Chains A and B, each alone.
Chain A
């Protein structure tokens, strides 16, 4: 199997070239998933860059991203493949008089009538592919069983067509918010990466990369303040996405420092729950929303 990356350092530089700032731990884990040909399960709170990591790997390697978005009620027909009944039926009705049923049958279970869904699509591709199975924890346990099957030997059996084996294994990333524990079996198949909120140093780099107009001093203040907010016991801690929104908002308001006033005016950008805002205002000694 050809590898996408030559070393952890290679992962790091190439992801950074696409403005995804990793660290040694992330880079090594991505490198290993590729080198060992194992799916990578990325878990962590919302907005820490799990989905983005898969996209960044695709972008850095010129691979195509095939995405399976999971949700409650997702089934095999949506995840793997489905027969296009409608088209098949029309084909049956249009069958020339006197055609043998077995011929018609062969016809309608051909390629033309197959609706390929992300898992099958990814397996059949011959070009480099990143398969992103996003928010795996939202699915039901049965789908997990299906994933386990597909990810174990990267092959799919379609009774009418035979077995399709991956010509080239996709780089697989599964993400989860850990709203439920994924099965031990699935976890055993995967390499595991826990993405937590970044250190202030790394977050500052992310801010500078994504919002290049911002000054270093403001970025520094911003990530320190966000870290302070995360230390409070909030309902929803601010994510990287919210830090970035905050940076953009401050730029738009032409604020050049993050003082109490600027924070009080823009707190809604980072904290979405009113109770969290109240809490933060109290803990940080901010002027209350009404007085602004």
Chain B
């Protein structure tokens, strides 16, 4: 494939994976390639990254695709044909396999030294030898699983630790640090195996095909309702700056002007030096008041990963507002603020909350009406004129009561009220969703991913 075709194909793939690469940026990338030495693949990667990837969350997708379109090697690579492997290969059976043993011995040393280039070469050899799935299939295919089984790096851990610690105390900090270092290297090794298998697959089929299965949507476009545990951990990191931003946005009262009220006395005094003409005006410093926040979140199963996410958001907000009170509900409502005390570990808080909070009454199915009425009844004084009210949930009330008057009263009492709904807009009002009805009382926005949350925050006037 000529470089130009490759370039164009690569840009298409990036766009297909959700990266908004503009025409101008594509041209920047092409120009960048003209001033670099193209033999250096990493320089090329840096050039594409600098011109096309402008969010850290897109980087993983970018790297996966770069490796597919600009593979590091062809076929078995410089190492030549793969080593003879026992046929049929059964590395996971306890049969002696001198080839695998040899590789594991090499792997041991490479992991110990953290020799990245060496690990890469080893992975290439191992995939060539063990990655081919049995020839019985009509088409050759490749698998990372068999390679992982042959190398089985986890089983080297004990020996590696012994070698690193060389007689130092076990169980202490030294071991912990060593273990982490080694685990990072093993994780990197596993990524290398995956990438190498993808490279071979792409060679046999096409980069486009492999890209389709290999690439996940970037974090900020990930549907929160479908987030896995690992995604949630990443989301948690991403949510903190957003919370900070949300707090400042909610704190800006009116966008009246950049400066505070006129400081009349100082202005007049200063004007004396310019013959009484107030050339320079002085303003009182603006005092951004720290807002108060009340969060109500639906934590029912239908939105469990969203609930997890919103609780993360609430947790992050906790640090940003002068006063935050968090309430969780399903068909009962309970205050969970205490679980979010500053300094509390957020993971612990989540576990605590699910086991201790009294949010389920009878059915265990969300009952928005009951939740709002309970809130109005039990916590009538919580919402005041300085409060921002945030409701998080899918507005699916299982055809139960909606308690619109109770909600309207809450919204009226608050300085402002917003509802974030994790469902796609097109699903609103289908089935038991009361989205539009609630929207008329508390303005509702779709919030399915980080990007939308960020947009919501920026739109707050």
A interface, CB within 8 angstroms of B = 7-8, 24-25, 28-29, 31-33, 35-36, 38, 41, 43, 73, 75, 85-86, 89-90, 93, 140, 177-181, 184, 187-188, 190-194, 196, 200-201, 221, 224-225, 227-228, 231, 233, 259-260, 263, 273-275, 278-279, 284-286
Interface string of B230-248 (1 = CB under 8 A from A): 0000001000010011000
- The size of the chain B interface, using a CB distance under 8 A, is 50
Given A43-B56, A200-B181, do A32 and B50 touch, yes or no (CB 8 Å)? Answer: yes
Given A28-B43, A89-B279, A179-B241, do A275 and B343 touch, yes or no (CB 8 Å)? Answer: yes
Given A29-B50, A231-B180, do A180 and B274 touch, yes or no (CB 8 Å)? Answer: no
Residues of B within 8 A of A86 (CB): 274, 279-280
A73 to B129, CA, bound (A): 62
Task: Report the minimum CB–CB distance from B113 to chain A (whole Å).
Answer: 12
B105 within 8 A of A: no
A89 to B273, CA, bound (A): 11
Interface string of B14-25 (1 = CB under 8 A from A): 000000101011
Question: Which chain B residue shows the least CB distance to A24?
Answer: B42
Selected interface stretch from B27-35, B118-126, B431-439, B441-449? B27-35
Question: Is the Cβ of B245 less than 8 Å from the Cβ of A179?
Answer: yes
Question: Is the Cβ of B274 less than 8 Å from the Cβ of A263?
Answer: no
Residues of B within 8 A of A228 (CB): 176-177, 180
B360 within 8 A of A: no
Question: Is the Cβ of A85 less than 8 Å from the Cβ of B280?
Answer: yes
Known pairs A28-B42, A29-B46, A73-B259 / 5 extra A-B pairs, C-beta < 8 Å: A28-B36, A41-B54, A179-B245, A191-B28, A224-B180
Question: Which chain B residue shows the least CB distance to A185?
Answer: B22
Residues of B within 8 A of A179 (CB): 241, 244-245
B258 within 8 A of A: yes
B53 within 8 A of A: yes
Question: Is the Cβ of A285 less than 8 Å from the Cβ of B176?
Answer: yes
A249 to B54, CA, bound (A): 37
Question: Is the Cβ of B245 less than 8 Å from the Cβ of A284?
Answer: no
Within 8 A of A (CB), among B209-253: 236, 241, 244-245
Residues of B within 8 A of A33 (CB): 50
Within 8 A of A (CB), among B299-332: none
Question: Is the Cβ of A75 less than 8 Å from the Cβ of B454?
Answer: no
* Contact sample, A vs B, 30 pairs, CB 8 Å cutoff: A8-B36, A8-B46, A25-B49, A28-B36, A28-B46, A31-B35, A32-B36, A32-B51, A36-B32, A36-B35, A85-B279, A86-B274, A90-B274, A140-B258, A177-B241, A179-B245, A180-B458, A188-B24, A191-B50, A191-B51, A192-B53, A193-B50, A201-B114, A225-B177, A228-B177, A228-B180, A233-B236, A233-B346, A274-B343, A285-B176
Question: Is the Cβ of B180 less than 8 Å from the Cβ of A188?
Answer: no
Within the complex, which residue of A25, A43, A184, A233 is in contact with B46, where a contact is CB–CB below 8 Å?
A25
Question: Is the Cβ of B274 less than 8 Å from the Cβ of A73?
Answer: no
A27 to B128, CA, bound (A): 34
Question: Is the Cβ of B49 less than 8 Å from the Cβ of A188?
Answer: no
A278 to B172, CA, bound (A): 17
Question: Is the Cβ of A260 less than 8 Å from the Cβ of B42?
Answer: no
B59 within 8 A of A: yes
Question: Is the Cβ of A181 less than 8 Å from the Cβ of B56?
Answer: no
Task: Report the minimum CB–CB distance from B349 to chain A (whole Å).
Answer: 12
B352 within 8 A of A: no
Question: Is the Cβ of B25 less than 8 Å from the Cβ of A188?
Answer: yes
B342 within 8 A of A: yes
A43 to B56, CA, bound (A): 9
Residues of A within 8 A of B333 (CB): none
Question: Is the Cβ of B173 less than 8 Å from the Cβ of A259?
Answer: yes
Task: Report the minimum CB–CB distance from B109 to chain A (whole Å).
Answer: 18
Q: Please give me the 10 A-B residue pairs with the lowest Cβ-Cβ distance, nearest first.
A: A275-B343, A28-B46, A187-B54, A192-B54, A191-B50, A29-B50, A35-B35, A194-B56, A25-B46, A224-B177
Question: Which chain A residue shows the least CB distance to B240?
Answer: A235
Given A86-B279, A227-B180, A278-B343, do A28 and B173 touch, yes or no (CB 8 Å)? Answer: no
Given A86-B274, A278-B343, do A28 and B176 touch, yes or no (CB 8 Å)? Answer: no
Task: Report the minimum CB–CB distance from B107 to chain A (whole Å).
Answer: 20
Question: Is the Cβ of A284 less than 8 Å from the Cβ of B173?
Answer: yes
A33 to B51, CA, bound (A): 10
A231 to B187, CA, bound (A): 14
Residues of A within 8 A of B245 (CB): 179-180
B359 within 8 A of A: no
